[in-house]
Structure 1
Amino acid sequence: MALRFEQLSCAQSVPACLLLACLYVGSLYVWRHEMPRDHPDVIKRRFTSVLVVSALAPFYLWLWSADQENQDQSWGSLLETMGIHTRGLLPAIVLPLLLTAVLFLGPIVQLTLDCPWDFVSGVKVLIEPRFWALCVSDIWWVRNHVVAPLTEELVFRACMLPLLVPCTGPTMAVFACPLFFGVAHFHHVIEQLKFKQGSVEMILLSAAFQFSYTSVFGAYTAFLFMRTGHLVGPVLCHSFCNQMGFPPVAAALEHPRRSAIAGCYVSGLVLFLLLLHPVTQPAFYADNAFGLLGASATVGR
Structure 2
Amino acid sequence: MIVSALSPFFLAAWEKATGIELETSLLSLMGFRLDGILTAAALPLMLTMVLFLGPLIQLSLDCHWDLFDGMKIIFDPHFWALCMTDMRWLRNQVIAPLTEELVFRACMLPMLIPCMGLQPAIFTCPLFFGIAHFHHIIEQLRFRQGTLISIFLSAAFQFSYTAVFGAYTAFIFIRTGHLIGPVLCHSFCNYVGFPAVCSALDHPRRTTVLLFYFLGVLLFLLLLNPMMEPTLYGKDLPVCHLLSHRSSDSTGLCS
| TM-score, normalised relative to structure 2 | 0.92
Q: Partner residue of 1:57? A: 7
1:299 matches 2:243: no
Q: d(CA) in 1 for partners of 2:17 and 2:157?
A: 41
Match of 2:59 in 1: 111
Q: Which residue of the partner structure matches residue 238 of structure 1?
A: 186
Question: Structure 2 counterpart of 1:283, which letter?
Answer: T
Given the alignment of the two structures, is residue 142 of structure 1 paired with residue 90 of structure 2, yes or no?
yes
Task: Work out the CA distance in 2 between the residues paired with 1:298 and 1:56.
Answer: 32
Q: Which residue of 1 aligns with 2:225?
A: 277
Distance 1:98 1:244 in 2: 14
Report if the CA contact (8 A) 1:171-1:300 is conserved. no
Q: Distance in 2 between matches of 1:81 and 1:67?
A: 17
How far apart are 1:294 and its partner, in Å? Answer: 2.2
Map 1:15-54 → 2, pairs under 5 A: 51-54=1-4
Supply the distance in 2 between the matched residues of 1:242 and 1:293 (Cα, whole angstroms): 32
Percent of counterpart pairs with the same letter? 58
Gaps of 5+ in 2: 245-250
| Alignment length (residue pairs) | 249
**Counterpart-to-counterpart distance in 2, 1:229 and 1:67:** 24
Mapped partners of 2:218, 2:148: distance in 1: 37
Mapping of residues 153-172 of structure 1, within 5 Å: 153-172=101-120
Which runs of 5 or more residues in structure 1 are unaligned? 1-50
* Alpha-carbon separation, structure 1, partners of 2:239 and 2:88: 37
Bigger proportion of residues as helix: 2
Q: Give the letter aligned to residue 253 of structure 2.
A: V
Single out whichever of 264-273 and 186-195 deviates more from structure 2: 186-195
Aligned Cα RMSD in Å?
Answer: 2.1
More relative contact order, 1 or 2 (CA 8 Å, 6+ apart):
2
Shift of 1:261: 0.5
Task: Give 1:194 deviation, angstroms.
Answer: 2.2
Distance (whole Å) between structure 2 residues aligned to residue 247 and residue 160 of structure 1: 28
* Deviations 1:165-210 (CA, angstroms, capped at 9, x unpaired): 1122101111110000001111211222222221110001000000
State the partner residue of 1:133: 81
